[in-house]
Structure 1
């Protein structure tokens, strides 16, 4: 047996907050940095697409397109005025500066894979954040990318945090879904779970905004209407345990919207298979919406549909390769980061006194991720302790 994340995880060399937390918790020796390989599935073929040299060999863009692609990426890596970028959509900006072909081949499929029907509404500030962070993980020559992973899974980090909380007199209640959050006498906060009732001086809610509205019906209607304006896409993440390796790369983006998922991540092309009983582990990433058919179909139907498209990408693939599989759903996986998103983000303090809010929809202009969750946790802790 081995531990594995439900959703693929790695960290970047510039993820200073989570690196510091890993070190503070005594897990530094478990953190390894490895080079990764990236590919792009386009025109019925997987192309290496992780370095400038591989870009030059990519025959589906002209020399001028490649120059415009490279120039815009280099510009965005060094550009810091995201407030200007959030005024325009990513597709508008890329069409103007990178060109129509680059937008169609590279950026538009990525946005569709992440946001589906809302891809044309996404702020350029979101795409800027992705490009800037990814660039920080490369060597100075831009040739090689290094990513970090905790050997034994990032579950070690969670377990160690739990131990530290308990050592410092705290308690961790597992399996207690929160049913209700409401004011209590003396400006305290009352919480009811499926297992009991509690009162606290201060409470921090880290759930998605739609869940907060359900749990705290006593919030003012105007506030609830404001947070309801933040939209989310959902996700279905499939993990396949395979007899054979599916691809050469760690990460492959898919520039073909006839394929119903946006990327495949072969974890064991990043971390060696010997750490997982010599099994090959493939994640299939798919962002979609709660009403979509693939979100609601049976596991067998989903596996059948995905297998058909995996065979397009690798003609040698067969369902017989699959030794086991796991499927996970998250209804509120990715906030829809529209133009001028900064103006829609609610404050950390809710209208209910001593109820604070800190969730991934408030991570901006960076995209949500483990490092920025740690940063957000530090920030909200400082706010609560000051008051």
Structure 2
């Protein structure tokens, strides 16, 4: 069963875009790194960063704001009015995984270990016996922050040998507290040694770090695989896949002369834990940007209400490709395929925000881009997850459509997508942002 709509014969494919996705994934081990890499690319395209505490002016051009692991970027074309609507691509920067606790240093039976807490809903067994690095954000005594990347095998969560767990192949059960604490040395642990190590790695003075947001991440590089390199395997595709495509699409749209709306990329943090933070989709960041953008162009409350009433958002996140070994887990009439193009995500219980009118917006963008597209709906016996889509729609009153790309092994340390889908998604987003 396939649900793809065929692309026109002339639909292009450029592997260079997918090559660049691999580069972006490798450069973005944490949300903080992801937004820094996105900002670097936006800077290169002529966008400029605005400080939230500074006064904003309404001149045309590309602009963005950074807050923690979130970024909102937009492009104001020449001649727009105060009530000009927005076209928004929403995504998230965070992924499930292992995050360092406030008191990380402990030892057991001659091993130095690092205390970690589970973030989101990781596929636990995929973290076993992986070479893990350490990355994140260090907060300094003077109020500044610095990114840390220890991009080498440093940590490991060792699995119990089959000889000591004869039933492991009949069902692996992991205790989230006891069985997922990584080792990183031998001997007795000493309080403060992990952060002292981080300070040295970051070139900082001893005692300068007073806060941290650190996580373990797999150091194995993203890579092509398959008979004809038709797959991409890599970490954090959920949802840096969409962040990467969104950045590329926004830059491309900013160079277009066809804009009738203001294109926006909103890349939020904390989607995997409910989005309720100052950098999450349920926080004030996007709303504040919209308000201030309208006001900086001389707009009133009435102008902002008019702009939002005509605005549209695509909430772009990964979805489930049909699994060849577990096809019964999927809806029998909806089997999204890898390299079948972006998926339209539908759930009548509003776990996704898509309705019929939203489908028309998505189809128009895909047809304009010349990309194939598919539909996704969950098996009725298997309730689906949710996204930032319903939150965006409810919080801002913006028509929102949930879309994404079909992948395998979602929430694993190493997820799997098709080599063509990154390009298909980016092209569809460009067509959407251009209106």
TM-score (norm 2): 0.27
Greater share of helix residues, 1 or 2?
1
TM-score (norm 1): 0.29
Greater share of strand residues, 1 or 2?
2
